[in-house]
């Protein structure tokens, strides 16, 4: 059977680092509060010359280099983002043009912080359905542009950045020993749409708007929703949590990462944590964490890796893959 195998990975961060200490000069907050409540120590903020497309392009080029491929080898681009350069066309098309690709298809996918998990799942279906051989899956965000910099309850949490992987069709024998994506589980429930949203849009206010979040409400649901899709991944594959080498979660808050790991009996040594360095970069956080742990040698070929995310919508999901 066809499997979607990770052939390469890459990441890109804006030039500017914004530390918690510097944040103290912008809003009424402290380094201590941010670290204790979230685990975040710094985040990257896009400059005027950096956008979702430029960060996404840089992450894509890094993934192509890592895979030893050229843009001509890619036949589909799926960009997970909630912060497109323009309302339309899709920012994926902008990245396609920057890479000099004129064939295949490119489109954006919007599932907020779960966007990368949704995009990986979508790419896997195109590959296994025979419609694509090599898909560039990118998560790129400039959440700093959606923030209300007077709202200390949200502006300290988010950052900008991009990560990418290349998924390639390969042969598997249909068992959980195969390399590639083994199972994926996606969920959404619009009943929670007003707990984390942006208060603008082309069809309503005609403005971009600002991010609004009932943090405590999101927090309350996060661990349960994450556990739901993690358990589903292991049930579907008959693998056990003990088989897992690495959990690569969406990076929203260290307390959510620790709470989910504890509930699932996954030791923190197996959890890739980048929230301290990047903050919450929404759809970019998982591919940034993947690129971090794969380039420093933690994630190795053959490792069982679980991606999971929960965010606005609510949306939540998991992808279990063998690297």
The verdict on 284 binding ligand UT7 (CB under 6 A) reads no
User: For residue 192, which phi and psi values (nearest 5 degrees)?
Assistant: -105, 15
The verdict on 215 binding ligand UT7 (CB under 6 A) reads yes
155 among known catalytic residues: no
The verdict on 226 binding ligand UT7 (CB under 6 A) reads no
Binder to ligand UT7 among 31, 105, 153, 270 (CB under 6 A)?
A: 153
Question: Measured from the CB atom, is 255 or 270 closer to ligand UT7?
Answer: 255
Q: Write each residue from 15 to 34 as x if it is in contact with ligand UT7 (CB under 6 A), else as -, in one continuous string.
A: --------------x---x-
Question: Measured from the CB atom, is 27 or 236 closer to ligand UT7?
Answer: 27
Please state, in angstroms and rounded to a whole number, the distance separating the CA atoms of residues 139 and 128.
21
Question: Measured from the CB atom, is 113 or 164 closer to ligand UT7?
Answer: 113
210 among known catalytic residues: no
List b or e across 12-27, with b for residues whose CB sees 16 or more CB atoms inside 10 angstroms: bbbeeebebeebbeee
Select from 5-13, 49-57, 122-130, 248-256 the region that touches ligand UT7 (CB under 6 A): 248-256
3-state percent breakdown (helix, strand, coil) of the chain, nearest 5: 40, 30, 35
Closest CA to 121 of 104, 106, 135, 105: 135
**Where are any strands of DSSP class E within 40-158?**
42-45, 76-80, 105-109, 134-142
The verdict on 292 binding ligand UT7 (CB under 6 A) reads no
How far apart are CB 124 and ligand UT7 at their closest, in Å? 23
The verdict on 212 binding ligand UT7 (CB under 6 A) reads no
**Active-site pick, 20, 113, 185, 253:** 113
Cis peptide before 314 (omega within 30 of 0): yes
The verdict on 218 binding ligand UT7 (CB under 6 A) reads yes
Question: Measured from the CB atom, is 56 or 313 closer to ligand UT7?
Answer: 313
**Where are any strands of DSSP class E within the chain?**
2-12, 16-19, 42-45, 76-80, 105-109, 134-142, 160-171, 180-188, 196-198, 211-213, 246-249, 304-311, 315-322
Burial label for 170, CB within 10 Å (0-12, 13-18, 19+), is middle
150 among known catalytic residues: no
Question: What are the residues binding ligand UT7 (CB under 6 A)?
Answer: 29, 33, 37-38, 113, 152-153, 156, 215-216, 218-219, 222, 252-253, 256, 280, 311
Q: Which residues are part of the catalytic machinery? A: 113, 250, 280
């Amino acid at each position: 059977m066809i499997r979607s195998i990770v052939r390469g990975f890459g990441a890109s961060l804006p030039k500017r680092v914004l530390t918690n200490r510097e944040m103290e000069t912008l809003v009424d907050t402290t380094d201590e509060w941010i670290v204790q409540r979230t685990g975040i120590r710094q985040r990257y903020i896009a400059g005027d010359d950096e956008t979702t497309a430029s960060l996404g392009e840089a992450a894509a080029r890094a993934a192509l280099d890592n895979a030893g491929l050229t843009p001509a080898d890619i036949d589909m681009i799926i960009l997970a983002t909630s912060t497109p350069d323009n309302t339309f066309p899709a920012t994926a098309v902008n990245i396609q043009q920057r890479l000099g690709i004129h064939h295949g298809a490119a489109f954006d996918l919007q599932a907020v912080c779960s966007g990368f998990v949704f995009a990986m799942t979508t790419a896997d279906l195109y590959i296994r359905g025979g419609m694509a051989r090599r898909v560039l899956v990118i998560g790129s965000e400039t959440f700093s542009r959606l923030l209300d910099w007077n709202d200390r309850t949200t502006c300290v949490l988010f950052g900008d950045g991009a990560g990418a992987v290349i998924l390639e069709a390969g042969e598997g024998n249909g068992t959980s020993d195969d390399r590639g994506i083994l199972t994926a589980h996606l969920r959404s429930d619009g009943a929670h749409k007003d707990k984390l949203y942006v208060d603008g849009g082309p069809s309503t206010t005609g403005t971009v708007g600002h991010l609004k979040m009932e943090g405590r409400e999101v927090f309350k649901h996060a661990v349960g929703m994450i556990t739901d899709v993690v358990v589903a991944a292991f049930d579907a594959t008959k693998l056990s949590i003990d088989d897992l080498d690495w959990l690569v979660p969406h990076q929203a808050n260290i307390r959510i990462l620790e709470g989910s790991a504890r509930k699932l009996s996954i030791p923190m040594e197996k959890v890739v944590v980048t929230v301290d360095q990047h903050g919450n970069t929404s759809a970019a956080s998982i591919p940034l964490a993947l690129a971090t742990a794969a380039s420093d040698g933690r994630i190795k070929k053959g490792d069982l890796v679980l991606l999971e995310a929960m965010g606005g919508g609510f949306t939540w999901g998991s992808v279990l893959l063998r690297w």
